[in-house]
Amino acid sequence: MITIKQLAKSYGNKPALSDVSMTIRRGEALALLGHNGAGKTTTLRLLCGLLQPSGGRIESGDPCAPPACKTSLGFVPDEPVMFDYLTGNEMVHFVGTLYRLKRDQLEARAARYFRTFEMNGARDGLIHGYSRGMRQKTAIIASLIHDPQYWFMDEPDRALDPVAMKTLKDLIQQFKAENKAVVISTHRLDVAESVCDRMVILNQGTTLFEGGIQELRKTTGLECSTLEEIYVRLLGSSQDKAHRSGVKSND
C-alpha cells in the first residue's frame, strides 16, 4: 500500500499541487479524475519519482513500491517518448534490456503482448509510420514488459480503438486479480466507473474526493446518477463551486 499525505508541488512560484492525499492499494484500480490542470499528471510523476515534492510525503510499507523502487513500476506517460526509427519490436526489446530481462523471457513477453494488442503484423514496422493508436499500444506494451507490480497510466485511452480499449480493460482486471496495483488518470468516466474500485477527484491541486462510486453518490446525494452526471454537477459549471461543495471524503 502507498499512502500520499498532503502532497504539494510547485514549479517556481506556480503551485501545481497544494494538498493531495490518497491511498493506493494492491488488488485495486484507482482512477485519477479532474479537469485539465487539476494536478493528475504531476501526481503521477511524483509517484514515479520523476519529480520531487515541494511538501507532504509518500509513504509505503512495501520496500519494493515506487518511487523508492522503480523496477516495480510500469508507467505510460501522457506523451510517450518513442524512437521513430526503431521498429515497435525493437523499442519494446530496448526497454526490456533496461530491466535486464533474459532474452528468451523478453521475446516471449513481447510476442504475447503484441499478439494481445493485435499488432503482430506491425511489430516489425518503423514507429515513424505508426498511427497514434499504434504508438499508444506500443507504449503500453513497453510499460508491461518487465511485469511490474504497480502500473501507472496517464490517459492511456487516448487514440485507442474500441478493441484496444477492451484489451486495456481486461489487462487492468488481470492486474487486480494478481494483487497488483493500477492507477489510471483518465477523462473517460465510463472507464473509471467500469474497471476502477475507487477514484480520486482532484480540483485545483487538492483532493476533492476519495472513495468508491457508491460512497460518492451518497456523499453528494445523487444516488441514482451516473459518474458522468455527478462529475458534471460537481465540476462542470465552475471549479470554484466544486471547491466549496465540501465533498472531500476518505474511503
Mean pLDDT of the chain: 90
Give the mean pLDDT of 166-189: 95
pLDDT 10s digits, 145-156: 999 999 999 999
Give the mean pLDDT of 162-191: 95
| pLDDT computed for residue 224 by the predictor | 78
Q: Which residues pair with 42 in a beta bridge?
A: none
- Which amino acid belongs to residue 77? P
Give the single-character DSSP code of 237. S
- Which amino acid belongs to residue 198? R
> Omega of the bond prior to 162 within 30 degrees of 0, cis?
no
pLDDT 10s digits, 200-244: 999 999 999 999 989 998 888 888 788 888 888 888 754 444 444
Per CATH, which fold does 31-36+62-200 belong to? Rossmann fold (3.40.50)
| pLDDT computed for residue 251 by the predictor | 52
**Which grid cell sits at 35?**
479537469
Q: Which residues pair with 211 in a beta bridge?
A: 199
Q: Both ends of the chain: CA-CA distance in Å?
A: 14
pLDDT 10s digits, 107-141: 999 999 999 999 999 999 999 999 999 999 999 99
State the DSSP string of 145-195: TT--SEEEEESTTTT--HHHHHHHHHHHHHHHHTT-EEEEE-S-HHHHHHH
Cα angle 41-97-173, degrees, rounded to a multiple of 5: 50
Give the mean pLDDT of 69-77: 91
pLDDT 10s digits, 7-53: 999 998 898 999 999 999 999 999 999 999 999 999 999 999 999 99
Domain ranges of the chain: 31-36+62-200, 219-251
Instruction: Assess contact for 186 and 196: CB atoms under 8 A.
Output: no
